[in-house]
């Protein structure tokens, strides 16, 4: 268990905007930050971070909470893991008691897979650096590639002994279960035999964006032609190769800072670039580029520069990934290296200045690159040239932004020496075909469900829910403030009529709210709000100083998410930037806000009561004079309240 003092220190020190900024590209928006949701595929920012309140809210998925809950949602950390991650980031010493055997057994399967992977990572590094076979074979290979010892340690490179079950035997000896060794793919089990998957290979650990070990890549060093040159961990609950980019944990901050990501193919390309000094680089690890991998980059930047080897055949095969990038609405540049060179060798043989200059000068727009690459093969062949032009226009059709489409069509017309009208006509044909195919698919799906097609219904606004939520918001944001309230006291005038007389009283906001609700015996109808209301009142009543972020950090995750939704609800509308549109809503001061909300709730409850009386009148067969008198009194009270609110109710 982590000590309470450590947890408190973590919450006091950690800055939500700094932590989330490691995973999501945030831009200043008033007093807050905004960015694209890391939990859904969106193009308009609906993800808000509040440095003042130290909370975040994702309006597209409904998720929200504290800095810890973000790590639990985004990185699938347990609560202790999130605390430890933050403690490491902010150099806070973690005080905790030793886990018992029983607690270890209770760890869920996913956590067990992580633990096994972390152990394997440490084991492979130790074999590489501290054993004779590791130094003679593995370390020698890495040094031949030009990697320094500092780089080898930074990327946690390792080596697996060329023995059938050296790793497996050691892992079992250390108490790790064979079940999880097999599920991570580190051990292959066949009947009663066990084998090390990465036997005799140098090891490249693959990390998540937060730095957790997900799996491994292993390169064989022998001359066995039957064995694969590179071998990756199989798919597991923690490793999905289509959703992972090698080096993203080392590159994320640099990608956001440089607002560009270099995309390469192999592990060594990434490592060599880092060693040379260019750190905003990741690799698809030899697999075909996927939409999930592109979205991972899209959280950090809108700009990708794809780096190709000098091998023309490999370059053409990789061009297919460009269309996927364009579909995500991202900006793509392409850079190829001289014949016989790849990113690894070129970075190794050039200085940082030379490499940077080459990338800046040779990186070209994907249209220019695609045209120059294919045009060389199709010149003097009109049919192939036409196919090339159609191929380029097909790529342009993937771009969601209409303005970009038009600019690229104009660029393509210049490069290929063809009229814009023809290209626009071709683009229209492609778009029409795509539209028709999508429509056919949609209509087919619709016909399957025609029998049970629901009628559209307007969502009814729950007035009481909204007012109760507003009361919680007031208590959270202003509960400990002292204000002058204009109270309305009901009195009989000379004619015996009920009238409201104003009286100024100084009080804490939470006291004012509590007394008003008590006076009218008003209870929250929403169970979550009711529980939260009494928790807030108790906290405000007992604390000399109410700290919102401390209060939120002590709540259960489910309630914490509810609180975040309440606190960030008003921020959602700031995404529309009303001031830029010259719309300036008039703000209410705190006493006005409290009075308006309480009075509105009173009026709503009066309406409910009157409706109940009316129903009683209809159902009663006895004298209704007393009920009618009550209705009259409540109606008079509502009329007085409406005057105070300055609106008809």
For the cut 50, the answer to whether the pLDDT of residue 438 exceeds it is no
Specify the pLDDT at position 180: 95
Fold of 248-418: Dna Topoisomerase Vi A Subunit; Chain: A, domain 2 (3.40.1360)
Residue 621 has pLDDT above 60, yes or no: no
Secondary structure letter of residue 175 according to DSSP: T
E-state strands within 60-105: 64-65
223 against 440, higher pLDDT: 223
pLDDT computed for residue 570 by the predictor: 62
Model confidence over 353-398: pLDDT tens digits? 999 999 999 999 888 887 777 666 676 788 888 888 888 898 899 8
Please tell me the predicted confidence (pLDDT) of residue 452: 43
For Cα atoms 349, 350, 351, give the angle at the middle one, nearest 5 degrees. Answer: 135
| pLDDT at residue 649, rounded to an integer | 45
Q: Which pLDDT value is given to residue 449?
A: 41
58 or 374, which is more confident: 58
Q: Are 366 and 404 in contact (CB under 8 A)?
A: no
Q: What is the mean pLDDT of the chain?
A: 82
**pLDDT tens, position by position, 265-323:** 899 999 999 999 999 999 987 678 898 899 889 888 899 999 988 665 556 656 778 88
32, 55 Cβ separation under 8 angstroms? no
Residue 542 pLDDT level (bands cut at 50, 70, 90): confident
Q: What's the rounded mean pLDDT across residues 179-197?
A: 94
Is the pLDDT at 259 greater than 70? The verdict is yes
Lowest mean pLDDT among 280-289, 350-359, 467-476, 576-585: 576-585
The tens digit of pLDDT for each residue in 307-347 reads 988 665 556 656 778 888 998 889 999 998 988 899 999 99
pLDDT of residue 450 exceeding 80, the answer is: no
The yes or no reply on domain 109-239 and CATH 1.10.10.10 is: no
Is 80 exceeded by the pLDDT of residue 587?
A: no
Output the pTM of the full model.
0.69
What was the pLDDT predicted at 352? 96
* Size (the chain), residues: 649
Please report the pLDDT score of residue 353 as a whole number: 96
Rounded mean pLDDT, 581-604 = 73
- pLDDT surpasses 50 at 625: yes
Question: Any idea which residue has 């209301």 for tokens?
Answer: 533
Under CATH, which architecture does the 4-89 domain have?
Answer: Alpha-Beta Complex (3.90)
* Mean pLDDT to the nearest integer, 517-525: 79
* Position 69 pLDDT exceeds 80: yes
Query: Over 10-47, what HEC string results?
Result: HHHHCCHHHHHHCCCCCEEECCEEEECCCCCCCCCCCE
String of DSSP letters for 216-245: EEEEE-S--TTS-SEEEPPP-SS--GGG--
Q: Residue 264: in which H helix or E strand, if any?
A: strand 261-264
The Cα-based distances of 13 to 7, 76, 199, 211, 377 in angstroms read 10, 22, 44, 21, 60
Average pLDDT of the residues in 568-573: 66
Condensed to tens digits (0 to 9), the pLDDT of residues 476-499 reads 888 888 888 876 666 677 777 767
Taking residues 29-50, what's their average pLDDT?
A: 87
- List the domain boundaries for the chain: 4-89, 109-239, 248-418, 463-573+584-645
Confidence of residue 414 (pLDDT cuts 50, 70, 90): confident
Band (pLDDT 50/70/90 cuts) for residue 202 is: very high
pLDDT for the residue numbered 598: 82
pLDDT at 623 > cutoff 80 = no
DSSP secondary structure letters along 340-380: T--HHHHHHTS-HHHHHHHHHHH-EEHHHHHHHHHHHHHTT
Confidence of residue 176 (pLDDT cuts 50, 70, 90): very high
559 vs 128, residue with greater confidence: 128
* Residue linked to tokens 């055997």: 101
Predicted pLDDT of residue 460: 61
Given this model, what pLDDT does residue 648 score? 46
Share of the chain above pLDDT 70, in %: 80
* Higher pLDDT among residues 261 and 209, named by residue: 261
Distance, CA of 551 to CA of 422 (rounded, Å)? 64
């Amino acid at each position: 268990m982590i000590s309470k003092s450590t947890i408190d220190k973590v919450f006091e020190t950690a800055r939500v905007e700094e932590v989330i900024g490691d995973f999501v590209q945030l831009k200043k928006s008033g007093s807050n930050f905004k960015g694209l949701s890391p939990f859904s595929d969106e193009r308009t920012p609906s993800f808000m971070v509040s440095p003042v309140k130290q909370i975040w809210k994702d309006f597209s998925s409904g998720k929200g909470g504290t800095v810890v809950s973000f790590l639990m949602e985004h990185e699938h950390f347990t609560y202790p893991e999130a605390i430890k991650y933050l403690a490491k980031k902010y150099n806070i010493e973690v005080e905790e008691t030793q886990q018992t055997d029983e607690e270890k057994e209770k760890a869920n399967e996913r956590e067990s897979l992580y633990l096994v992977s972390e152990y394997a990572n440490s084991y492979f590094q130790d074999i590489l650096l501290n054993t004779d076979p590791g130094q003679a074979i593995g370390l020698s290979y890495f040094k031949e590639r030009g990697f320094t010892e500092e780089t080898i340690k930074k990327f946690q490179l390792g080596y697996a002994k060329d023995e059938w079950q050296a790793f497996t035997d050691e892992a079992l000896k250390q108490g790790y279960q064979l079940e999880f060794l097999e599920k991570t793919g580190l051990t292959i089990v066949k009947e009663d035999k066990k084998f090390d998957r990465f036997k005799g290979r140098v090891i490249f650990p693959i990390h998540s964006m937060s730095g957790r070990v997900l799996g491994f890549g292993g390169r064989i060093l022998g001359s066995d032609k039957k064995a694969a040159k590179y071998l990756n961990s199989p798919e597991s609950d923690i490793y999905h190769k289509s959703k992972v980019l090698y080096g993203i944990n080392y590159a994320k901050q640099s990608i956001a800072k440089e607002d560009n990501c270099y995309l390469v193919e192999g592990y060594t390309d990434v490592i060599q670039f880092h060693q040379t000094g260019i750190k905003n680089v990741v690799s698809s690890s030899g697999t075909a580029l996927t939409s999930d991998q592109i979205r991972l980059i899209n959280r950090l930047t809108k700009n990708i520069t794809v780096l190709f080897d000098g091998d023309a055949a490999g370059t053409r095969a990789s061009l297919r990934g460009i269309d996927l990038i364009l579909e995500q609405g991202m900006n793509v540049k392409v850079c190829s290296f001289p014949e016989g060179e790849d990113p690894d060798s070129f970075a190794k043989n050039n200085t940082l200045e030379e490499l940077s200059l080459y990338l800046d000068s040779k990186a070209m727009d994907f249209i220019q690159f695609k045209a120059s690459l294919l045009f060389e093969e199709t010149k003097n062949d009109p049919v192939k040239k036409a196919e090339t032009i159609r191929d380029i226009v097909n790529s342009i059709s993937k771009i969601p932004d209409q303005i970009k489409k038009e600019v690229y069509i104009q660029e393509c017309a210049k490069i290929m020496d063809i009229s814009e009208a023809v290209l626009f006509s071709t683009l229209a044909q492609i778009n029409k075909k795509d539209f028709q195919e999508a429509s056919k698919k949609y209509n087919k799906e619709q016909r399957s469900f025609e029998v049970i097609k629901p009628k559209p219904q307007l969502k009814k606004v729950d007035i009481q829910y909204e007012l109760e939520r507003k009361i919680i918001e007031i208590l959270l944001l202003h509960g400990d403030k002292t204000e002058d309230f204009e109270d309305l006291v009901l009195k009989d005038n000379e004619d015996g009529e009920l009238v409201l007389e104003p009286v100024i009283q100084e009080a804490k906001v939470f006291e004012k709210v509590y007394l008003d609700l008590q006076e009218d015996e008003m209870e929250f109808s929403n169970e979550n709000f009711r529980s939260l209301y009494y928790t807030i009142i108790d906290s405000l009543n007992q604390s000399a100083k109410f700290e919102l972020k401390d209060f939120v950090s002590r709540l259960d995750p489910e309630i914490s998410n509810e609180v975040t939704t309440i606190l960030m609800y008003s921020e959602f509308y700031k995404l529309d930037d009303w001031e830029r549109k010259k719309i300036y809503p008039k703000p209410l001061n705190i006493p006005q806000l409290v009075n308006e909300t309480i009075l509105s709730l009173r009026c709503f409850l009066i309406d409910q009561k009157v409706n109940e009386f009316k129903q009683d009148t209809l159902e009663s067969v006895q004298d209704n004079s007393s009920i009618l008198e009550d209705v009259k009194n409540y109606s008079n009270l509502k009329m007085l309240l409406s005057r105070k609110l300055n609106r008809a109710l």
